[in-house]
Amino acid sequence: MPARERRRFAILPWLGIRPSTSEIVKRELESAFADSAGSTDSQPKGLTVLDAGCGRVSQLKPFRPRIARFVGADIHPPAPGALPHLDEFATVDLCAESDAFPPATFDVILSSFTVEHFADPEAAFRNLRGWLRPGGRLVITTVNRRHPFVWAYLAMPSPLRGRLQRLVKATAADAHPLVGACNSPSDLERGLAAAGFGDLRVTTVGHLARAWSRSWPTYLVGLLGDLLVQGLPSRRSTIVVSAG
């Protein structure tokens, strides 16, 4: 992370915008790895893990020493050599291809900032449930349409949305169209339960200042967005769910 962004982030815990999304995901993955390692025969060799909608960066990378088989799946194939941390990559539409992996393949699945892009999130949740072995764990991060800025963004005409998205994203390749079909804490809980997930842990966190930290103006708008709803957990910009 560039030093100027680190400086921008340093003030956030002082303003109560903590823990960060990455810290929550790290904690949930730690717990998922610990649970899975304790309940699978594959423990001595490491776990079988899927990054579903892997893009180019993965919070599973630090867990590599504990992973025997690290699979990435995305609707867009990566540039050659772009994902050296993976053992395998599969081009998969997570909403549509239920046979992409055999049932009960994975011990842990991470799907990070993907659900907001899904055309059919409930189908995706059913697929993820099917690919997860019983006792395995899914960790999801996604945006919350109950945040006023996210709500306003989703209400805009799509050409305007596209222009705004490019303003806050590092590259055009990071600007995926937002659908937001299942993007509130309660919709996620309902959708995941309908797909057969249980033992849900739902956390919300202000993430806009971090996500938009590329320039001072976007960072300050993000910070304002985070502070506006800091006292209203169900409206914070980002949702992290861990489900079994």
According to DSSP, the β-strands at 47-52 and 106-112 are parallel
Answer for which of 12, 54, 109, 195 binds ligand SAM (CB under 6 A) is 54
55 interacts with ligand SAM by CB under 6 A: yes
**By the rule CB under 6 A, 113 interacts with ligand SAM:** yes
- Among residues 20, 105, 114, 184, which is the contact residue for ligand SAM, using CB under 6 A? 114
Minimum distance of ligand SAM from residue 100's CB (angstroms): 10
Q: Where are the beta strands (DSSP E) in 53-191?
A: 67-74, 88-91, 106-112, 132-143
Query: Contact between 95 and ligand SAM (CB under 6 A)?
Result: yes
Q: Which of 87, 93, 122, 189 binds ligand SAM (CB under 6 A)?
A: 93
Query: β-strand 88-91 against 67-74: which pairing, if any?
Result: parallel
What are the residues whose beta carbons fall under 8 Å from the beta carbon of 13, sequence distance 6 or more? none
Per rule CB under 6 A, is residue 190 in the interface with ligand SAM?
no
Lateral strand order in the sheet of 47-52: 88-91, 67-74, 47-52, 106-112, 132-143, 238-243, 201-205
- Candidate list 112, 142, 204, 218; residue touching ligand SAM; CB under 6 A: 112
Query: Does 49 interact with ligand SAM (rule: CB under 6 A)?
Result: no
CA distance 207 to 147: 11
By the criterion CB under 6 A, which residues form the site for ligand SAM?
Answer: 53-55, 57, 74-76, 92-95, 112-114, 117-118, 176
